[in-house]
Amino acid sequence: MFTESFPVDVIQENYVRNVRNCIFSIVYPTPFKSRVRLVAVSEEVLENILDLDRSVKGTSDFLQFVSGGKVLLGSVPLAHRYGGHQFGSWAGQLGDGRAHLMGVYTNRHGERWELQLKGSGKTPYSRNGDGRAVLRSSLREFLCSEAMHYLGIPTSRAASLVVSDDDVWRDQFYNGNIKKERGAIVLRLAKSWFRIGSLEILAHSGELDLQRRLLDFIIQEHFPSIAMNDSNRYLEFFSTVVSETANLIALWMSVGFAHGVCNTDNFSLLSITIDYGPFGFMDSYDPNFVPNTSDDEKRYKIGNQANVGLFNLSKLLQALKPLLDPRQKQLFTELFKTKLGFLGENEDDSYLIAFLLKLMEDTKADFTMTFRHLSEITEDELKELHIPEEFWALQDLAKHKLFSEWVTMYLLRLNRNKGDSDTKRRTRMTTVNPRYILRNWMAESAVQKAHLNDFSEVHLLQQILQHPFQKQQAAEKAGYSLRPPVWAKDLKVSCSS
């Protein structure tokens, strides 16, 4: 499909170079040299997206394909050329430095999915990299992309995770401490892997005809509401991406998710979450939360994601500011109104939300569990300021001298919900406020066990995170809704993978 629509790199040898006048380079994955083990699959992805029976995971052909050892008949593996602004500065050519697009599949629902291996070897875009990914980061991507899907947030999906015995050397925190880790590959899927940087590299290189071809292709394939004969189709496209990106970032914020590395090459043109690296979910509420140890300037702190989104969107159209209508600006407020159980309109809602977030900031209250506990506690318990021990996040919040004032305002606002009841309110709120997220300490626990070839926690988390809004016995037993352990505060993640 892509090789028919666009010119490909005229050089087919696999060495690092500056590539021009194409969208893709043809390059085959590099198989692992050692034993390969399939450690996790998403059966839902296999069955509902790839139309495969779950038994396929036990076959040699499947293992060969998802580990880069076999290419399907008729498939031409590709690496995508793109550029990007990284931490605010133009970084030039970037591209798929360790990823291979293995094919495009149209399933029984008529959905078109692009299959990509990540960690599958060097490409012309590898720069100084070895083309590999390690178990630590691959496991985090596999779990979090699936977790985000079940939270209802647009995202790429993960079909499988394999680990090898190949040695991969990484300086995880860029401090000179190089360690040997095991190589791993994720088979990940998206409706499209085109990102803002896909268009940026062509604009910066002056390849405007190719940029038009790519943009028209993207609009025709993925934006059916935009007429191809509309002279304003690029403006319509931009306006749509602005709206949907604003929606995505608001959704990130609503579950306390920080992407960690919001460069333009990591921002999808389809406004889905892609390229999971040093992400993190907030534990204690902190608008300055930075999950990425490489982000010294805190450019990508959680409270700055909307501003970074605006910066990235301005780069998309080579314009100074994006087009936001009032509805888009209200998305954040609307999502938090839903999280707090409000119905209808009230002029004080924005103040109530800001008031709560300030209390959470001052008390370092846990972001996820504060909203979840508000979803579970009764109005009578709140009215009496009697916070049962199980609602530990609200107990932290209650230490603030203004907590009772906020509760009074909150209960008055709930009383203005027409035709509502306390039971309806709690039921409604528990469907939008998750009880379980992939906290860094949970991922780290799974990573540590995985290093010892124990993948039990990977599988447990995979199951738990498929139903983040439902209370689950196994999750409670594992402590996934309790206070994060003390050692979690010292956890660090970086771009190293």
Distance, in Å, from the CA atom of 142 to the CA atom of 362, rounded to the nearest integer, reads 34
Under 8 Å between Cβ of 232 and 25: no
Active-site option among 96, 265, 366, 396: 265
Under 8 Å between Cβ of 40 and 161: yes
Which amino acid would we find at residue 183?
Answer: G
Distance of CA 60 to the CA centre of its chain: 30
Looking at the DSSP bridge assignments, the partners of residue 493 are 292
Distance, in Å, from the CA atom of 134 to the CA atom of 185, rounded to the nearest integer, reads 8
Distance, in Å, from the CA atom of 348 to the CA atom of 32, rounded to the nearest integer, reads 59
| Structure token digits, residue 1 | 């499909």
Q: How many helices (H) and strands (E) does the chain have?
A: 19, 12
Distance, in Å, from the CA atom of 271 to the CA atom of 66, rounded to the nearest integer, reads 26
Distance, in Å, from the CA atom of 464 to the CA atom of 441, rounded to the nearest integer, reads 15
In this structure, which long-range contacts are made by residues 318-324, counting pairs with CB atoms below 8 Å and at least 24 apart in sequence? 318/203, 322/238, 322/242, 323/238, 323/239, 323/242, 324/242, 324/246
Distance, in Å, from the CA atom of 116 to the CA atom of 124, rounded to the nearest integer, reads 16
Distance, in Å, from the CA atom of 67 to the CA atom of 37, rounded to the nearest integer, reads 9
Q: Please tell me whether residue 159 adopts helix, strand or coil conformation.
A: strand
- First-last CA distance in the chain: 30
Residue 265 appears among annotated catalytic residues:
yes
Distance, in Å, from the CA atom of 447 to the CA atom of 140, rounded to the nearest integer, reads 8
Catalytic residue list: 265
